[in-house]
């Protein structure tokens, strides 16, 4: 049964593909309609086109293939060897009779083997059947020739002793490598989400700055028109007119510079999410403010339970344990046991090959005994153990840093709530102040320079409010990534660790 997460993932990829095709078609000369991208649209496109995501996905797929290959190697293996097929015609010297004689031989052989690696012990059990045919002639036997069929059927068991299980270790390392690549892929997606959201909101801030500067430019133009009319009517001062013109030109220059910055930022955003630079797009989002309740203790606890970086460090520790085990095999004392039982038969007629069957058994036991290695093994193990302790310490440091980051993020969110309320009150106050002084300016009771100062104060208050709203959204995202809990929707962030927990 297909899981909901896979369905949703497939749906997102399909939606991203449709969006990308639509945007590519929009770049054609005959189709120049502008496409408005939401944040979700941008994230979906980036998840499919990001070079970093693609590289990480390739590493994950390669790791999965290596693991599958190792698992396949632990299953029953069937092999057939044909050969050697040989022909020999030579003179040989008989040392006993001190004479040379001619020897000729034709030989064909084949072997069928069924091997089963034993994962639990690291040994191997095999069933082998070797069939051969030989036709030979030798002058040493009076010029007689012989032709024989021979078959050997035997069961063999090979087992290393007093050493670690290499089959199990290799499988464990590949499983850890695959899990590590899964974690890297999930972390890369979260980091990409953070990057795209940062750039998206930065682009949105540039867009809002352009709108605010446009409003300021139109206001300064209107103020200049009023001052010019007053001056032409003989009731205005030349220095006020000059100041109004200076303000108007300054606001026009600021507006033009902001427009260029926005265009450059838009190109960088297209590159980030993998769109053609000539794609005609715009962005739209809602940064409406609604305070989200945050439980710091829960955020810290959930982050420590689910953060993938911690699991990555645990995998590093597991690999370090394996390194200690492998270090113990340097100049190791080990043994090799081999047991063989079977039967063979030889006959000139193939159908009678087992008329005279010979039962055969063999057993062998060998040991490797190191005598003196000048401390090589001891220091190799010591180096591996030090590396293991270092990795354990790094895990504790990672836990401490995660706790600090989540606590700082929670405090920052609480502070931003207060800052947004202050920023809104500043905007309201600045709007009222500007309206009062605009009326004074229209009545001739205020200079254009002072009015410009009030207008700049209003623009600054508006930009400050926008920046605080964006900072709140980004800080909320940061807490989501730090704790792996979406406080806005009161849901866990679906990652590798949470999916595995659900399966358990």
CATH of the domain at 480: 1.20.1600.10
* pLDDT score for 451: 80
Task: Please provide residue 124's backbone torsions phi and psi, each rounded to the nearest 5 degrees.
Answer: -150, 135
**Is the distance from CB of 118 to CB of 86 less than 8 angstroms?**
no
Q: Are residues 353 and 436 in the same domain?
A: no
* pLDDT score for 449: 77
More confident residue, 468 or 239: 468
**Is the distance from CB of 195 to CB of 280 less than 8 angstroms?**
no
Q: Which two tokens stand for residue 169?
A: 């270790």
Q: Is residue 204 part of a domain?
A: no
> Tens of pLDDT along 121-146?
999 999 999 999 999 888 766 667 78
* pLDDT score for 33: 65
Q: Are residues 440 and 492 in the same domain?
A: yes
* pLDDT score for 94: 77
* pLDDT score for 202: 87
**Could you tell me the pTM of the whole model?**
0.74
Q: Are residues 346 and 455 in the same domain?
A: no
**Is the distance from CB of 465 to CB of 430 less than 8 angstroms?**
no
Domain range holding 316? 286-332+374-504
- Boundary-marking domain end, from 319, 350, 369: 369
Which element (helix H / strand E) includes 385?
A: helix 376-442
The angle that helices 496-503 and 166-232 make with each other, rounded to 10 degrees, is 130
**Is the distance from CB of 415 to CB of 464 less than 8 angstroms?**
no
Q: Are residues 340 and 378 in the same domain?
A: no
Q: Are residues 338 and 397 in the same domain?
A: no
- Boundary-marking domain end, from 350, 369, 388: 369
* pLDDT score for 143: 67
Contacts of 246 (CB under 8 A, 6+ apart): none
- Maximum mean pLDDT: which of 8-17, 324-333, 488-497: 324-333
* pLDDT score for 504: 40
Instruction: Tell me the C-alpha distance between 23 and 493, whole Å.
Output: 29
Residue 19 has pLDDT above 70, yes or no: no
State the chain's mean pLDDT as an integer: 86
Q: Are residues 365 and 493 in the same domain?
A: no
Lowest mean pLDDT among 171-175, 397-401, 452-456: 452-456
Q: Are residues 493 and 439 in the same domain?
A: yes
Contacts of 280 (CB under 8 A, 6+ apart): 26, 27, 32, 33, 34, 35
Q: Are residues 355 and 466 in the same domain?
A: no
How many other C-beta atoms lie within 10 A of the C-beta of residue 65? 11
Instruction: Tell me the C-alpha distance between 228 and 230, whole Å.
Output: 5
> Tens of pLDDT along 404-458?
999 999 999 999 999 999 999 999 999 999 899 888 877 878 777 788 788 889 8
* pLDDT score for 259: 93
Say whether 96 sits in a helix, a strand or coil. Answer: coil
* pLDDT score for 406: 95
Say whether 470 sits in a helix, a strand or coil. Answer: helix
Query: 497: pLDDT confidence band, cut at 50, 70 and 90?
Result: very low
For the chain, the domain total comes to 2
> Tens of pLDDT along 31-64?
456 788 888 898 888 888 888 888 899 999 999 9
Q: Are residues 385 and 348 in the same domain?
A: no
* pLDDT score for 8: 43
- Boundary-marking domain end, from 323, 350, 369: 369
Q: Are strands 358-368 and 334-347 parallel, antiparallel or unpaired?
A: antiparallel
Lowest mean pLDDT among 2-11, 49-58, 325-334: 2-11
Q: Are residues 313 and 365 in the same domain?
A: no
Say whether 338 sits in a helix, a strand or coil. Answer: strand
Instruction: Tell me the C-alpha distance between 271 and 231, whole Å.
Output: 51
How many other C-beta atoms lie within 10 A of the C-beta of residue 436? 12
């309609």: which residue's tokens? Answer: 33
Q: Are strands 99-118 and 123-138 parallel, antiparallel or unpaired?
A: antiparallel
* pLDDT score for 170: 93
Query: 9: pLDDT confidence band, cut at 50, 70 and 90?
Result: very low
Q: Are residues 382 and 413 in the same domain?
A: yes
Half-sphere exposure of 287 (CA within 13 A, CB side): 23
CA torsion 220-224-226-228 (nearest 10°) is 180
Residue 16 has pLDDT above 80, yes or no: no
User: Mean of the pLDDT values across residues 205-224?
Assistant: 88
Q: Are residues 350 and 395 in the same domain?
A: no
């Amino acid at each position: 049964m297909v899981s909901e997460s896979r369905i949703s993932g497939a749906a997102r990829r399909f939606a991203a593909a449709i969006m990308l095709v639509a945007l590519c078609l929009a770049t054609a000369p005959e189709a120049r309609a502008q496409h408005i991208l939401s944040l979700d649209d941008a994230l979906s496109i980036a998840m499919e086109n990001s070079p970093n995501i693609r590289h990480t996905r390739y590493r994950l797929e390669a790791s999965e293939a290596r693991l599958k290959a190792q698992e396949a190697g632990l299953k029953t293996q069937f092999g057939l060897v044909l050969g050697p097929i040989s022909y020999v015609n030579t003179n040989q010297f008989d040392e006993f009779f001190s004479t040379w004689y001619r020897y000729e031989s034709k030989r064909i052989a084949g072997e069928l083997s069924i091997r089963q690696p034993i994962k639990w012990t690291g040994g191997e059990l095999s069933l082998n059947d070797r069939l051969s045919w030989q036709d030979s002639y030798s002058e040493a036997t009076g010029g007689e020739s012989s032709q024989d069929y021979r078959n050997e059927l035997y069961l063999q068991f090979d087992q290393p002793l007093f050493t670690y299980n290499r089959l199990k270790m290799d499988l464990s390392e590949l499983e850890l490598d695959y899990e590590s690549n899964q974690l890297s892929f999930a972390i890369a997606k979260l980091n990409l989400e953070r990057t795209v959201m940062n750039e998206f909101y930065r682009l949105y801030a540039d867009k809002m700055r352009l709108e605010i500067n446009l409003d300021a430019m139109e206001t300064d133009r209107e103020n200049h028109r009023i001052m010019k009319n007053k001056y032409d009517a003989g009731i205005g001062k030349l220095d006020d007119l000059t100041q109004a013109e200076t303000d108007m030109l300054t606001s026009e220059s600021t507006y033009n510079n902001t427009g260029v910055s926005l265009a450059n930022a838009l190109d960088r955003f297209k590159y980030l999410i993998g769109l053609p630079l000539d794609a005609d797009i715009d962005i739209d989002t809602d940064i409406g403010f609604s305070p989200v309740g945050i439980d710091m203790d829960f955020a810290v606890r959930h982050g420590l339970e689910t953060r993938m970086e911690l699991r990555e460090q645990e995998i590093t520790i597991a690999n370090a344990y394996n390194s200690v085990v492998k270090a113990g095999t340097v100049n190791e004392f080990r043994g090799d046991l081999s047991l063989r039982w079977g039967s063979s038969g030889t006959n000139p007629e193939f159908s009678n090959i087992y008329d005279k069957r010979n039962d055969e058994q063999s057993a062998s036991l060998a040991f490797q005994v190191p005598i003196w290695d000048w401390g090589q093994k001891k220091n190799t193990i010591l180096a591996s153990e030090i590396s293991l302790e270092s990795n354990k310490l790094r895990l504790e440091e990672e836990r401490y840093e995660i706790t600090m980051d989540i606590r700082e993020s929670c405090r920052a969110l609480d502070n931003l709530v207060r800052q947004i309320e202050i920023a809104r009150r500043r905007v309201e106050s600045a709007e009222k102040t500007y309206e009062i002084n605009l009326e004074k300016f229209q009545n001739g009771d205020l200079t254009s320079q002072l009015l410009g100062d009030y207008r700049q104060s209003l623009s600054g208050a508006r930009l400050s409010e926008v920046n605080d709203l964006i900072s709140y959204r980004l800080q909320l995202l940061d807490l989501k990534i730090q704790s792996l809990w979406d406080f806005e929707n009161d849901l866990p962030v679906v990652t590798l660790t949470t999916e595995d927990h659900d399966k358990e």
